[in-house]
């Protein structure tokens, strides 16, 4: 039986007569195939990427498994519609904390229409994308059985200053998840979620090493999804911190050129995470990491 994804934090959501993704009990995620070039472009990327022997296994694990396409009943009641069939990234999770981070200081591809470029450029300037190289598209942080999730409005997360954005990334791995932005996060789980040989920082660095060399694709308007299980961390177990790349409607061919837009944002995000690990109780410095080059 298909249902609305319970842990979706960004993107178009199903329900109330709206078209959005659905999930089933077997761990598959059904994303409506957009009827314009965005849909055909994303299908083209998944088809190409999933069969590309040049992609090393340690990198393909950061992407959702692609199962093809399928006609299913659309969530808006409009009848059978084609959907991308992907891996449900929250399968097996009980109460996951999740953050969706849109990468790059520029979220539009060069060949996009002038109208679309201006629309994206306006949003990039109004959010942290342009100065920092990434922005928060959505977040949910699990507190406990009594408090449930802290899930702020997505629009309130997109135009944060560097210091407030860093506070959110600290709150993500803290035991105190009050909505009060003035409450200093304790970063109780930073070492086990962000740190360690298999933690999120290590995964980001692994991805960075690939982006420093790969010239096959340019990932415009793509997101990194970071997640973990706080209850496992509270029990002293591995919280299963992981990253996954999602949303590939605006991926274009790299044509032998490094994707500096994505790489610059990735370096910026790595700097934020690294600073949280090395100095969890310090405020961010006035200097903002450069996103025009790579570190």
In tens, the pLDDT along 179-222 reads 666 678 999 999 999 999 999 999 999 999 999 999 999 999 99
Distance CA 147, CA 152 (A): 14
Structure tokens, 80: 């059978």
Strands (E), the chain: 22-23, 28-32, 66-73, 80-87, 96-103, 134-142, 149-150, 217-219, 223-229, 242-246, 251-253
Q: Are 261 and 292 in contact (CB under 8 A)?
A: no
In tens, the pLDDT along 119-161 reads 999 999 999 999 999 999 999 999 888 888 988 887 778 778 8
Q: Does pLDDT of 293 surpass 70? A: no
What's the predicted TM-score (pTM) here? 0.91
């Amino acid at each position: 039986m298909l249902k609305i994804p319970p842990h979706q934090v960004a993107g178009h959501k199903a329900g109330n007569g709206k078209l959005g993704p659905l999930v089933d009990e077997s761990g598959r995620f059904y994303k409506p195939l957009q009827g314009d070039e965005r849909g055909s472009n994303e299908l083209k990327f998944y088809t190409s990427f999933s069969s590309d022997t040049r992609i090393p296994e340690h990198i393909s694990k950061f992407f959702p498994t692609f199962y093809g396409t399928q006609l299913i009943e659309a969530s808006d009641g409009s009848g059978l519609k084609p959907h991308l069939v992907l891996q449900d990234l929250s399968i097996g999770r009980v109460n996951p904390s999740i953050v969706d981070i849109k990468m790059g200081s520029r979220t539009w591809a060069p060949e996009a229409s002038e109208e679309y470029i201006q629309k994206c450029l306006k949003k990039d300037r109004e959010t942290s994308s342009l100065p920092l190289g990434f922005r928060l598209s959505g977040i949910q942080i699990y507190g406990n059985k009594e408090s449930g999730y802290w899930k702020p409005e997505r629009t309130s997360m997109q135009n944060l200053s560097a210091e407030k954005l860093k506070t959110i990334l600290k709150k993500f791995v803290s035991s105190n998840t009050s909505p009060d932005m003035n409450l200093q996060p304790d970063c109780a789980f930073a070492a086990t979620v962000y740190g360690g040989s298999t933690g999120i920082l290590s995964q980001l660095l692994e991805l960075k090493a690939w982006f420093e060399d790969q010239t096959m694709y340019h990932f415009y308007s793509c997101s990194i999804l970071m997640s973990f299980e706080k209850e496992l961390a509270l029990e002293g177990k591995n919280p299963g911190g992981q990253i996954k790349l999602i949303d590939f409607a605006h991926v274009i061919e790299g044509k032998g050129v490094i994707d500096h837009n994505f790489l610059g944002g990735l370096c910026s995000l790595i700097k934020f995470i690294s600073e949280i690990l090395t100095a969890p109780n310090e405020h961010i410095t006035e200097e903002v990491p450069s996103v025009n080059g790579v570190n």
